[in-house]
Amino acid sequence: MTKNYDHELTQFVEDMGLLTEGEGLPRIAGRIIALLIVEDEPIGFSALAERLQVSRASVSTNTRLLQTLGVIDRLTRPGERQDYFQISANPYLRFLHGASDRLARSKAVVQQAQSTLGRRHEKAGKRLDELFEYFNAVGGMYETLVKRFAEKS
C-alpha cells in the first residue's frame, strides 16, 4: 500500500470513530466498522487489535456490540482458534431499523405528553403537536429508506 493510501485509511478510520461516537456508540466500534468496510477479506481478532492499536478487551467488547447490532459477522476458520470479522451484508438496513425503532419510542413519549400536558397548557400542547408532526415526517422518510435498502438485500 502507498503511504497516501495508509494516511487516507487512517483518516477514514478515525473519522468513522468520531461519527459513531456522536451517535452514542463507542469510538472503537466506529473504527472497527470503518476498517471492515474497506477490507476485502475478514480480519482476525488479533489483527484488529494491532491495526487499531487498542486492547484485545476493547476489540472483544466492541465486536460483541457490533454483532448484536447486526453490523458485523463473526467467522471461524477450521483449525484456527482465532475469530475473524467482516462487515455484514447490508448493515445499513439494520442502522435504519434501529433509528426507526428509536423514533417510534420518541413518538410514544410525545403522544403521552400530548394527552396529559398538552391538554393543560395550550402553548405546550401546540409545541408537542409540532414535535409529533416532526416525528411523523421523519418516520415517513425512514420507512422509505428501509424499503429502499431492503430491496438491495
pLDDT tens for 71-119 read 999 999 999 889 999 999 888 888 888 888 889 999 999 999 988 887 7
Q: How far apart are CA 32 and CA 109, in angstroms?
A: 33
Q: Residue 153 above 70 pLDDT?
A: no
pLDDT score of 49: 96
Decide if 14 contacts 53 (C-beta within 8 A). Answer: no
Per-residue pLDDT of 121-152, as tens digits, reads 888 889 999 999 999 999 999 989 988 888 87
Decide if 139 contacts 103 (C-beta within 8 A). Answer: yes
Cell of 43: 480480519
Selection from 97, 98, 101, 100 nearest residue 138 by Cα: 100
pLDDT-based confidence at residue 46 (cuts at 50, 70, 90) = very high
Q: Which residues contact 30 (CB under 8 A, 6 or more apart)?
A: 16, 17, 18, 19, 20, 21
pLDDT score of 141: 92
pLDDT-based confidence at residue 7 (cuts at 50, 70, 90) = confident
Give DSSP secondary structure letters for 7-39.
Answer: HHHHHHHHHHHHHHHHTTS-HHHHHHHHHHHH-
